[in-house]
Amino acid sequence: MSDLDLETSNRIDAPITTVLLNNGTMGGFNRSLPTAMGEYNVGNIGDDYAGLAQDLGGIDIKITDPNEIDGALTKARQVNFVKGKSVLLDIKTQQWL
């Protein structure tokens, strides 16, 4: 995710929707650094992307159930066109090896 996209889009009134597939880990760490992951948990991250979206002038929508995605996309489109704000869809996904 590039948070600068959200900041820029809100600043210049060009709303976008960003979809974040949030598995809570840095890509590839499980395979390439198994000891670091297992013993020190180095690849796991717990950032508050939704809070960041708000701080940058946008709207956040957190999704934990795949059945919520359709409604969230509809809501994001309404926010983009009616409120003129950018939206971050923070979709929680399973951490894969």
pLDDT of residue 1: 52
pLDDT of residue 89: 95
| Dist CA 53 CA 37 (whole Å) | 28
Q: 97 lies in a domain?
A: no
Structure-derived torsion over alpha carbons of residues 51, 57, 62, 63, reported in degrees to the nearest 10: -150
Q: 22 lies in a domain?
A: yes
Q: In this structure, what CATH number is given to the domain that contains residue 54?
A: 3.40.50.970
Measured CA to CA in angstroms, residue 18 lies from 31, 42, 82 at distances of: 28, 26, 17
Work out how many domains the chain is built from and give that number: 1
Domain boundaries, position 14 = 3-92
| Dist CA 68 CA 97 (whole Å) | 25
pLDDT of residue 97: 43
* Low-confidence residues in the chain, pLDDT < 50: 97
- The pLDDT tens digits for 6-28 are 889 989 999 999 999 887 777 76
Structure tokens at 15: 């709303």
